[in-house]
């Protein structure tokens, strides 16, 4: 079942944890790709040195981040691709959850084509969506749809319970040295042992 608005209005750390195991779906021109969310990071807005909105920063490109929970915030990174974030909590509370990695489910051949991959070596597939830029390329997610409502039909998330043997672990966030002491907050959530994680604990 598609996650509803109320899910995204919950505290950001709760959403970041509960998104683990859910399924991100992208529909475009009758093409469907999807993947199980296996890694997330929470960013807690004004007081979080790791957040774009730290110290009340707000540029026009950040407008989606200031929407109410249930919208997406997509931004370019290093000139090489995009990162997809789930906006959380209330309007004008710019907090979000970065989706860092997916386990591919539907449309794998299309993902392979978009990423110019080869399927001749099965081990290559673990690199298909094991990072925020990689999964955006595989799912054809870019800044043109930043601000979209995640309760719509183009980009949405399906609720999914974890299996009895699946466990969520926490760690510090990745590649945010600029966040000073906030880089050590345990706000990264992962599905233990999943081979599509961007980095092991």
Domain count, the chain: 1
In a domain, 154, yes or no: yes
Residues forming beta bridges with residue 72, ordered by sequence position: 86
Distances (CA, A) of 192 to 13, 74, 114, 118: 18, 26, 28, 27
Residue 68 belongs to some domain of the structure: yes
% pLDDT > 70, the chain: 98
Tens digit of each residue's pLDDT (9 = 90 or more) over 103-128: 999 999 999 999 988 766 766 788 99
pLDDT digits (tens, 9 = 90+) for 87-97: 999 999 999 99
- Tell me what pLDDT residue 122 has: 65
- pLDDT per position as a tens digit, 27-78: 998 899 999 999 999 999 999 999 999 999 999 999 999 999 999 999 999 8
Residue whose token pair is 């043997």: 165
Residue 200 — pLDDT band, cuts 50, 70, 90? confident
| Residue 168 covered by a domain | yes
Would 137 be classed as within a structural domain? yes
Residues 6+ apart with CB under 8 A from 117: 111, 124, 125, 127, 128
In the chain, DSSP assigns E strands to 23-28, 31-43, 72-77, 81-88, 95-106, 155-158, 168-171, 188-191
Q: Is residue 10 part of a domain?
A: yes
User: Would you say 43 and 51 are in contact if contact means Cβ atoms under 8 Å apart?
Assistant: yes
pLDDT for position 79: 81
Q: Would you state the pLDDT for residue 117?
A: 82
Q: CB-side exposure of 84: number of CA atoms within 13 Å?
A: 32
Q: What is the pLDDT of residue 104?
A: 97
State which residues form the domain around 96.
Answer: 5-191
175: CATH: 3.10.300.10
Question: What is the Cα gyration radius of the chain?
Answer: 16
**Averaged pLDDT of the chain:** 95
> Rounded to whole angstroms, what are the CA distances from 72 to 21, 48, 84, 180?
18, 19, 7, 26
On whether residue 197 sits in a domain, the answer given is no
The answer to whether position 198 is within a domain reads: no
Q: Does residue 200 sit within a domain? A: no
Q: Could you give the CA distance from residue 96 to residue 147 in angstroms, rounded to a whole number?
A: 12
């Amino acid at each position: 079942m598609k996650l509803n608005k109320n899910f995204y209005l919950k505290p950001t750390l709760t959403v970041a944890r509960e998104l683990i195991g859910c399924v991100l779906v992208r529909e475009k021109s009758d093409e469907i790709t999807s993947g199980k969310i296996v890694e997330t990071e929470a960013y807690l807005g004004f007081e979080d040195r790791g957040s774009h909105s730290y110290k009340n920063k707000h540029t026009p490109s950040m407008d989606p981040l200031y929407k109410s929970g249930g919208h997406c915030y997509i931004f370019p990174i290093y000139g090489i691709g995009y990162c997809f974030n789930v906006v959380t909590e209330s309007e004008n509370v710019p907090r979000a959850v970065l989706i860092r990695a997916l386990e591919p489910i539907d449309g794998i051949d299309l993902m392979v084509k978009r990423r110019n991959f080869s399927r001749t070596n099965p081990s290559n597939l673990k690199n298909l969506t094991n990072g925020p830029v990689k999964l955006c390329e595989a799912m054809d997610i870019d800044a043109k749809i930043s601000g979209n409502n995640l309760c719509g039909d183009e980009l949405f998330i399906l609720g999914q319970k974890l299996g009895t043997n699946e466990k969520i672990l926490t760690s510090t966030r990745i590649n945010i040295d600029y966040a000073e002491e906030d880089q050590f907050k345990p706000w990264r959530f992962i599905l233990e042992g999943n081979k599509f994680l961007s980095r092991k604990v």
